[in-house]
Structure 1
Amino acid sequence: MEEIELFLEDAKDTMEKALKHLTIELSKIRAGRASVSMLDGLQVEYYGVMSPVNNVASVTTPDARTIAIKPFEKKMIGELEKAIRNSNLGLAPSNDGEVIRLSIPVLTEERRRDLVKKVKQEIEVAKVNVRNIRKDTNESIRKLTKEGVSEDEVKLGEERVQKLTDTFIARIDEVLVAKEKDIMSV
């Protein structure tokens, strides 16, 4: 049935967005290696407006344990340094007047386990989101019986929603395995 296909397509798109959101959230959890995404969400005041760091500076990773931040305007170096110190990143910036360097410390075993717990929390949120999408889609499909869609077609639609859900849950589990491996490898 055409309406069921629309609901399935919508569910798939929404589940893709949930997976993409999970990937973004997990990229913020550092695994002991420098990543420019660690600074995502960090804002700095630039001419009276709060702006993302990558809008006012070039952010690079010259090696696996360092992030280099070179402001486009030298006068921004103090603001950038202050924003990093005031953030919850737990990183101490060092400034040579032109470039701010952030050294990423090696993670302890205990810190790695804490990060894995945090990852698992994000994974669980993503799974709940996918299950909620399944629930909403199934409810929408069931309402079609009032519009004359047969119960058999509704059942088939619900089965397809379940297969879609299972596929996305499996993809989320794959993300978990990869991120856990990334965090726990020294």
Structure 2
Amino acid sequence: MLNDIKKDAQARMTKSIEALRHTLVKVRTGRASTALVEHLKVNYYGSDMPLSQVATVTISDSRSLTITPWEKQMVGAVEKAILASDLGLTPNTAGTTIRLNLPALTEERRKELSKVVHGEGEDTKVAIRNIRRDANQQIKDLLKDKQITEDEERKTEDEIQKLTDKSIKDVDDVVKAKEQELMAV
């Protein structure tokens, strides 16, 4: 029973860290990445579809992306989705191909993005601490129902704290790596 609580807490903490990594991929660093636009929703015959399901997105060089919609009439819808996004990019259209040029980040923008990365890291740390709290509450409930001893409770809470500390260190490492990527010129 205690092992199940520990395994569940560890799995949820790992998922939180993976979600952070997935979120940080979308933060623009000045280098082209298809992940920058994958989350965009395009109006496709009345329903919103992810860009990756209506077009091919490729990296043409280190600072530009090429988007090729599968249907010619989708070019306008893809352009609208890019303009409406929070990316701050202007699409250049040539026939059925859309090019996105990523300008070099200014120092000020890098600092703003660094704050965003820190905020995401803090949100993930809060989620991890909430997982710890839930696990500890489950352990206390078992103790209250006299299914475990106080020694087992203390030992398991210590193990969950070690899992929490390790997960928070992993979050710090992910955030630090993204910051270094942002600040690299």
Q: Report the TM-score, using the length of structure 1 for normalisation.
A: 0.96
Counterparts of 1:133 and 1:111 in 2: how far apart (Å)? 33
Task: Determine the structure 1 residue equivalent to 2:158.
Answer: 159
Pick the aligned partner of 2:72 from 71, 74, 95: 74
Matches within 5 A, 1:1-186: 3-148=1-146, 149-186=148-185
| Residue-by-residue CA offset, 1:101-135 (whole Å, 9 max, x unaligned) | 00000001111111101100000000111011101
In percent, how many aligned pairs have the same letter? Answer: 45
Counterparts of 2:162 and 2:40 in 1: how far apart (Å)? 39
Q: Tell me the CA shift for residue 176 of structure 1.
A: 1.2
Q: Tell me the CA shift for residue 147 of structure 1.
A: 2.9
Counterparts of 2:70 and 2:117 in 1: how far apart (Å)? 34
Q: Tell me the CA shift for residue 41 of structure 1.
A: 2.3
Q: Which runs of 4+ in 1 moved over 4 A?
A: none
**Long gaps (5+) in structure 2:** none
Counterparts of 2:121 and 2:144 in 1: how far apart (Å)? 36
Counterparts of 1:20 and 1:53 in 2: how far apart (Å)? 22
Counterparts of 2:127 and 2:150 in 1: how far apart (Å)? 27
Q: Secondary structure at the match of 2:65?
A: strand
Counterparts of 1:23 and 1:72 in 2: how far apart (Å)? 30
Q: Tell me the CA shift for residue 14 of structure 1.
A: 0.7
| Residue-by-residue CA offset, 1:122-166 (whole Å, 9 max, x unaligned) | 000001110111011011111111232100001000000001001
Q: Secondary structure at the match of 1:7?
A: helix
Counterparts of 1:183 and 1:138 in 2: how far apart (Å)? 37
> What one-letter code is carried by the residue in structure 2 that aligns with 1:172?
V
Counterparts of 2:60 and 2:39 in 1: how far apart (Å)? 21
Q: Secondary structure at the match of 2:103?
A: coil
> What one-letter code is carried by the residue in structure 1 that aligns with 2:152?
E
Q: Tell me the CA shift for residue 75 of structure 1.
A: 1.3
Counterparts of 1:89 and 1:38 in 2: how far apart (Å)? 8
> What one-letter code is carried by the residue in structure 2 that aligns with 1:73?
E
CA root-mean-square deviation = 0.9
Q: Report the TM-score, using the length of structure 2 for normalisation.
A: 0.97
